Each structure stands twice: as C-alpha cells, then as structure tokens.
Amino acid sequence: MIFGKYRKKVTYYVLGSIIAGFILLTILVLAFPHSFIDLEFSQEVQEDQNPLLDTLMKLVSWFGYFPGSVIIVLLGALLFFIFKYKREALFILITSASSLVTTLIKMLVNRPRPTEPLVRIVQKVNQQSFPSGHVVFYIVFFGFITVLMYRLKNIPKYIRIPVAVISMLLIFTIPFSRIYLGAHWFSDVLGGFLLGLLCLYLLCFFYFRKAVK
C-alpha cells in the first residue's frame, strides 16, 4: 500500500516535469526560433556524411512518412486482431492519433524547418518543424509495441524479444536520423520526445485501466 502511494507520487512528479519541460521548451522555441545550440548540434551530427549513412538514416525515418506510418499501424493492428488480441489491436490503431496532436501543435508554434546553408538538407519536408512528428509517432507506436511485448507473455520469446529490441532501436535512432537528414533541429526532436512520452503514458494509462476492469 505504501509502496503503491509512493510509486503514484513519483509518477505524478515525473509527468509534471515532462509537461513543464515541454511547455518551457515551446516557449523558448517561440522566443528563439534560431538557436545557436540547435545549429551546433546539427553541425556535430552532420559532421560525418556519406551515401551509405544517408540511405540508412532515410530508412530509419521511412516508418514515419506516409504511407509507411499507415502501413505499420494497420499491419500491426491486423496481426494482433488475427491472433485474438482485439483490444491491443484497437489501441495500436489509436497510436495514429498522436499525429493529430503533433499537427495541431505544429500549426500553433509554426516554426520553419532548417534551411541551407545553415544545415545540409538530405531529405526535404514542408510541414512545420516543432515538434518532430516522427519522434512522437515512434515513441507512441514503437513504445506501445514494446510495452505489449513485455506484457503479453503468451507470445513466444523468440518473437517478443526481437520485436522489442528493434522497436527500442528505432526509438533511439530516429532523433539522430531527423537531425542528420536536415529535417529538424535538436529542440524539435527533444520536444517530440517529451510530447511522445506524454502521449504514450496516456495510451498506456487507458490500456491498463481497461485491462484491470
């Protein structure tokens, strides 16, 4: 009982810190859309460039573009539905709602994308820059898949472990991919990371609450 209360309090503190951090970061981005920290970080990430790395970073980002994002959400939901995990399939479909949240914030902040000659643009995109929609989507979708791989013990380990490892690998490489490709600043991916964690928490909150009922 005491441990449960302590864990709940810690959760609230962490959530509060993430929310406050995202709000503060948004204010800083609005006040200073071109930060020297962002520029320095982009130059460091783009320092070593070669065609193979270009291709690899594009591949990492592919799942966040249309139709890649739609394909993996529908395919993931379909696979869980086929194997009788209907509620999990529904929540996988719900992960796509994170794109709506991101788009709304992008429109409100209206931060322009990085441009040449400030950074090297490997893959040009047109939508607003803050926060990174790729990072939000990867954390919510692949993060939830990782949670399911931990929770659903009926799925064989030889499936759960590789899926979880690949999902985590994509989550931690997508920020570097977006900066390397010249699609985002560091503050964009940081904002995406914080917003993605909030969306993932809400998704898991309702998922586990329904599971208890």
Instruction: Let me know: does 114 contact 185? Beta carbons within 8 Å.
Output: yes
b/e code 67-85 from CB counts within 10 Å (16+ = b) = eebeebbeebbeebbeeeb
Q: Known catalytic residue: 134?
A: yes
Q: Known catalytic residue: 34?
A: no
Catalytic residue among 184, 193, 194, 207: 184
CA distance linking residue 56 with residue 42, whole number of Å: 17
In order of 67, 116, 149, 156, 191, the CA distances from 127 in angstroms are: 16, 16, 33, 40, 16
As given in the structure block, the two tokens for residue 168 are 């985590």
CA 92 to chain centre: 14
CA distance linking residue 34 with residue 111, whole number of Å: 9
CA distance linking residue 115 with residue 124, whole number of Å: 9
CA distance linking residue 73 with residue 90, whole number of Å: 10
CA 132 to chain centre: 8
Catalytic residue among 106, 111, 113, 134: 134
Q: Which residues are known catalytic residues?
A: 134, 184
